[in-house]
Amino acid sequence: IAPLEPKQFWLTNEQSRKLVHKWRNEEQAVLIGRKTVEIDNPQLNVRFWKGKNPLRITVDKNLELNRSYSIFNSDALTLVFNQRENSAIGNIEHVKIDFSKNIQSQILQTLLTLTWTFYLPMLILKVLQTKVLQFLTLQTMNGKLQVMLEMYKRFILKKFH
């Protein structure tokens, strides 16, 4: 279906592109290879859907990609797996991996580490926030809650005794 020469080629219509952007919004990350960056120059954001952009990930063994590609714009964090360096500049983070070993497992291990490093504290804060809100709700509803519990207790006692 695609042309013989490597160039950007759309197989989809506007409706399916919106659906893809919806799906991207539901994912934490999207991974593409260096050639896809060079040929398609994707933005990997959710510009056709309201929501959060996923983490953009690419594998660029020798750091050959030009920073003018859309994947490096400031829309989202971009992770570049390579064999040369670990560094972070703005929204671009380079992660050095050993290409003579299993690349997939190294990428997964890095992503797992990132998840625990970045998302776990946010998850803990979310849980704490929920607990605090529940506590405050119970405190402000304390009088009404006590009455409801008493009514429920009387109902249960009548029903089963």
State residue 46's pLDDT score: 82
As a whole number, mean pLDDT of residues 32-53 equals 88
pTM of this structure: 0.65
* 44: CB partners within 8 A, 6+ apart: 24, 30, 32, 53, 54, 56, 70, 71, 76
pLDDT at 20 over 90: no
Please, what is the angle between helix 120-140 and helix 142-160, to 10°? 80
Residue 45: band (very low, low, confident or very high) from pLDDT cuts 50, 70, 90:
confident
Chain-centroid distance, C-alpha 110: 14
Going by C-beta distance under 8 Å and a sequence separation of 6 or more, which residues neighbour residue 60? 34, 37, 80, 81, 82
